[in-house]
Structures are given as C-alpha cells and as structure tokens.
Amino acid sequence: AFIGLDSTAEELHFLDRLLCEGELGKGQLLGLDKMLNQKEVSSRKKVVYLHHHPFDFKFGMQLRDTEELRKIIENRIDMLLFGHYHVDPTSAGKIFHGKWGIKRCYNGGTSTHKNGNPGHQRVIDLSDTDPRMDYDGNF
C-alpha cells in the first residue's frame, strides 16, 4: 500500500508562507492511523511518502507535527520516503534506515542535474528484506 501525505496541507496562514515548514494536520494524521489499522492495509507492505523531512530539524524547514507522525507510524510501516532537502545523493542515502523502527527511510536527495552532476536514481526492492540490497546510482 502506497500512502501519500500532503505536508503542505496546513500551511494556510501568512507567516507559514514565509518559512518552508510543513505540517500534516490532525485530520490527515487521524486518517493515516485509521488506514494503518484496516485489515486490508495492515497485512500488506506499507510505504508512506511526504515532502517534508521528518527527522532533520533545521529551523524553518522541519515538519511541525513530526512527533505526532512518529507515534502513528513507528514500527508500523515498511518504508518512509521524503524529500524537501535537495542534497548530494551520498548525503541522501540510507543514513536514516531503522529510525522509528522503519527498515527503509529515504531522503530523495535531488533528481535533477545540478552543478554539472548527473541526476540520481534509486532502485528499491521491497520483496528483499535487506535494505542494503537497494541500489543507488547515477544513470
């Protein structure tokens, strides 16, 4: 099950637009918890994806309700995909694996050619239980 969250959903106030913070909001978080409890979802592999980075807390760029998200997905999903920081692929790799009891946690890095560097791609095999078998490369 691929579950997408909109981390810009609650950015509706003027001051929110001055920073790059994200927020899921109570409605989305309650919906996510309810979805993860459904029998047809709980028995499958679960991939949750969102734009804002849930682990890194740089001022003005963090996900505001990261603790609430952690309480819902900790030890309950198979993969967490996120972005927001457009960084070198080696920095965006597998350094977050195991956080919150989630075997695979990936920062997307950048997918475009920046500063003369090639774009970055990742091949992820959810059928393999070892995340070290996932492949990062420049194609």
Cβ proximity of 53 and 82 under 8 Å = yes
- Domain of 127 in residue numbering reads as 2-137
The structural domain count of the chain equals 1
Q: What is the pLDDT of residue 38?
A: 96
- C-alpha distances (whole Å) from 96 to each of 57, 81, 107, 116 are 14, 10, 8, 27
Q: What is the pLDDT of residue 37?
A: 96
Predicted model pTM:
0.82
Residue whose structure tokens are 């920095």: 91
Q: What is the pLDDT of residue 122?
A: 73
**pLDDT per residue of the chain (139 residues) written in tens, 0 to 9:** 999 999 987 665 666 666 678 889 999 999 999 999 999 999 999 999 998 888 876 776 788 899 999 999 999 999 999 875 655 555 555 678 889 999 988 887 666 666 666 666 777 878 777 877 776 665 5
The CATH number linked to 114 is: 3.30.750.180
